[in-house]
């Protein structure tokens, strides 16, 4: 479990005189920091890998409400409050428009819907009718709906931060204060905040913002998702964050989840220099994925839309196209034509020939209101992914029709797979539906342990498998993937998870069919070598992870990957596995 709070820097006697630097590759470097004031190490969850250092800029505190004032004209007051909400909704929607078709745009559009929600407006009206002024009416209404989200738990609870942002923006609008948001100090900085709303994160400029540290947030919070897609190192759930002083120098390790405070300026600059040198070294490794002895391992990209393809020119194709981003935050399902256009755009613009399209993964952390799915006590164990077909087969069939039409129009044949496949019967049914529409490569995601254990049987129905380690961990370890406190169980180095991957790798080899990994595990360079040793033939990740994974594979032989896999399968815990595999590959490199 992630430790939180401040602790003395490593090497107590020489507090911060020496520091270990990890520049997103697992390489250990040593930096002399010398004479740093009051250094300490804060721990949180590392949710976006990489290393950066710089001066802290804190997000401004949310606008404070003045004392309540008596309301003389209820109609005027209601109009003032509702206008503020409308302005916020319009601003969020305009920002979404500036990031069309991207994950970020979909998130902002959903937040704009939240600000315009009739239920929220109604609560504001009731509050004014009960005697509150506009500012207090907005504040209390957002507080009311926030509590409801928190009580709903899971994905809904993580959206509470979005509502806080709406509250802050609307209260500022009512009071005539500037819109709260990311500071602009005129120099690069490490952004420290209580939490970040999508509207803040979307427009972050990676040239100015070096890294993110937040007190709140979980592994799948928007801060985490967007930081990863922008390649910004990020640590969330860092309880010591409020104590980090504005203008002080810190280093942030988004891989280890550590923030070292009280650095001297020269030490921070040295860390930045080393991280930049490391990035240059990694950028020099190009071309297709290969082990040191030439075994091909396809390196692919995870995307939410065609807009995410720009940064992935170095990928050999798309390993996971999450089509649900087209459906999120919508009052109605996107129509056939709209879907064809979205899929065709990806097929035409893909960096390599291969594109793996995943059919709609709805339910639990990706709720789609228009599906009208029944309320469930345990949504993660309920009607989600392919199971939506049990109640709304029409939605999945229209999607398959649209994918087939996009293939015809673009002349590019996608590989098509379904999420949350659990049994061979489900695999056979999906394959029949897809093949009836002319899809030539049909596969399944392996996210449920039962499917991993029957990988060989599933492959009799299918052409390929793609392992979703995020969900496979969740279901194998009975640990909610959004639960920050259970992060240790969700660690992809857990031998229990790797044994399930090994089963799939074995089945793939026996059938002579490809088995990829498209969960976050594929983005960890050292673990990537283990996955290849377990028989995985492709790795799919977001763009910033491609170079480190490619570079690590290129200096590890297939035999070393297989030895690493055996070590990891038998390790007592994830930390021991990492250490033993890193030691083994370092020793191998030293012998060469
Ligand atoms: C996974 O579960 O590992 C996966 C890639 O799918 P998602 O994260 O979209 O659920
Ligand atoms: Mg999944």
Query: What's the gap between Cα 489 and its chain centre?
Result: 18
Give the pLDDT of residue 177: 80
Q: What residues pair up with 29 in beta bridges, in sequence order?
A: 21
Buried b (16+ CB within 10 A) or exposed e, 86-106: ebbbebbbebbeebebbbbbb
What is the reported pLDDT for 14?
Answer: 26
Ligand 1 mean position, distance from CA 467 (Å): 9
Domains of the chain, with CATH numbers? Answer: 16-60+182-275 (3.50.30.10), 74-175 (1.10.274.10), 289-591 (3.20.20.60)
Taking the model in full, what pTM does it have? Answer: 0.74
- Residue 238's SS3 state is coil
- Is residue 51 within 6 Å of ligand 1 at its C-beta? no
Q: Cα 408 to chain center, whole Å? A: 32
Q: Confirm whether 222 is a catalytic residue.
A: yes
Q: Is 518 a catalytic residue?
A: yes
Residue 163 in tokens = 């509502």
- Residue 518 Cα to ligand 1 midpoint, Å, equals 7
pLDDT per residue as tens digits for the range 307-323: 888 755 689 999 999 99
pLDDT digits (tens, 9 = 90+) for 514-568: 999 999 899 889 999 999 999 999 999 988 889 889 999 999 999 999 999 999 9
157 vs 78, more confident: 78
> How far is residue 539's CA from residue 76's CA, in Å, rounded to a whole number?
58
Cα–Cα distance measured from residue 284 to residue 297, given in angstroms and rounded to the nearest whole number? 18
User: What are φ and ψ of residue 446, in 5° steps?
Assistant: -105, 105
Distance between CA atoms of 286 and 139, rounded to whole angstroms?
A: 52
Question: How big is the chain, counted in residues?
Answer: 592
Q: Exposed, middle or buried, 493 (CB in 10 Å: 0-12/13-18/19+)? A: buried
Outline where DSSP puts E strands in 44-185.
45-48, 51-58
**Ligand 1, atom nearest to 471 Cα:** 2
Structure tokens given for 341: 């256009």
Report every protein residue that has its C-beta within 5 angstroms of ion ligand 2.
447, 468, 471
Least confident range from 127-136, 165-174, 326-335, 416-425: namely 326-335
Give distance in angstroms: CA of 66 to centre of ligand 1. 45
What the block records as the tokens of 441 is 């490569």
End-to-end Cα, the chain, rounded Å: 37
Per mean pLDDT, which range of 36-40, 436-440, 476-480, 485-489 is the poorest? 36-40
Is the predicted pLDDT of residue 586 greater than 80, yes or no? no
- Two structure tokens written together for 291: 């082990």
Return mean pLDDT, the chain.
85
The pick from 301, 467, 468 for probing ligand 1's pocket by mutation, whose C-beta has the most ligand atoms within 8 angstroms, reads 468
């Amino acid at each position: 479990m992630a430790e939180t709070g401040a602790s003395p820097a490593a090497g107590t006697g020489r507090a911060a005189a020496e520091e270990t630097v990890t520049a997103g590759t697992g390489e250990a470097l040593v930096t002399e920091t010398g004479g740093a004031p009051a250094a300490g190490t804060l721990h949180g969850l590392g949710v976006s890998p990489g290393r950066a250092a710089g001066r802290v800029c804190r997000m401004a505190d949310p606008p404070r409400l003045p004392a309540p004032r008596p309301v003389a004209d209820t109609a005027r007051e209601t109009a003032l409050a509702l206008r503020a909400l409308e302005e916020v909704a319009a601003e969020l929607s305009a920002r979404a428009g500036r990031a069309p078709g991207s994950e970020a745009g979909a998130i902002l559009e959903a937040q704009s819907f939240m600000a315009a929600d009739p239920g929220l407006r109604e609560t504001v009206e009731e509050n004014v009718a009960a005697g509150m002024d506009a500012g207090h009416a907005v504040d209390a209404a957002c507080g009311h709906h926030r509590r409801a989200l928190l009580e709903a738990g899971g994905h809904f609870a993580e959206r509470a931060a979005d509502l806080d942002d709406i509250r802050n923006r609307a209260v500022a609008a009512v009071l005539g204060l500037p819109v709260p948001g990311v500071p602009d100090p005129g120099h690069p900085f490490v952004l420290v905040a209580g939490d970040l709303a999508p509207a803040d994160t979307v427009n972050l400029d990676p040239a100015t913002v070096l890294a993110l540290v937040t007190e709140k947030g979980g592994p799948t919070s928007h801060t985490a998702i967007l930081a990863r897609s922008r390649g910004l190192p990020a640590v969330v759930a860092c309880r010591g964050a409020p104590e980090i002083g504005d203008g002080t120098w810190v280093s942030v390790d988004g891989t280890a989840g550590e923030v070292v405070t009280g650095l001297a300026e020269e030490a921070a600059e040295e860390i930045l220099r080393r991280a930049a040198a490391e990035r240059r070294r990694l950028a020099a490794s190009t071309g297709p994925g290969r082990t040191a002895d030439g075994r091909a391992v396809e390196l692919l990209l995870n995307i939410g839309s065609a807009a995410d393809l720009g940064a992935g020119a170095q990928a050999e194709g798309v390993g996971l196209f999450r089509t649900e981003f087209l459906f999120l935050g919508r009052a109605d399902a996107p129509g056939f034509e709209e879907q064809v256009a979205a899929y065709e755009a990806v097929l035409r613009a893909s960096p390599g020939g291969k594109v793996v399209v995943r059919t709609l993964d709805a339910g639990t952390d990706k709720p789609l209101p228009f599906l009208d799915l029944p309320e469930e006590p345990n949504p993660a164990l309920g009607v989600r992914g392919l199971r939506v077909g049990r109640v709304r087969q029409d939605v999945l069939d229209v999607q398959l029709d649209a994918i087939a039409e996009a293939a015809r129009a673009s002349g590019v044949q996608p590989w098509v797979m379904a999420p949350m496949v659990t049994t061979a019967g489900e695999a056979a049914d999906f394959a029949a539906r897809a093949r009836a529409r002319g899809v030539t490569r049909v596969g399944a995601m392996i996210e449920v342990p039962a499917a991993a254990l029957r990988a060989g049987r599933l492959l009799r129905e299918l052409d390929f498998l793609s392992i979703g380690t995020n969900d496979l961990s969740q279901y194998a370890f009975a640990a909610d993937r959004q639960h920050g406190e259970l992060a240790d169980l969700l660690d992809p180095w857990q031998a229990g998870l790797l044994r399930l991957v090994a089963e799939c790798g074995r089945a793939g080899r026996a059938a002579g069919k490809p088995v990829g990994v498209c969960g976050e595990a594929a983005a960890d360079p050292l673990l990537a070598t283990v996955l290849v040793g377990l028989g995985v033939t492709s790795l799919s990740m977001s763009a910033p992870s491609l170079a480190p994974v490619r570079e690590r594979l290129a200096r590890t032989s297939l035999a070393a990957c297989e030895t690493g896999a055996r070590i990891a399968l038998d390790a007592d815990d994830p930390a021991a596995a990492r250490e033993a595999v890193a030691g083994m590959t370092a020793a191998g490199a030293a012998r060469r």
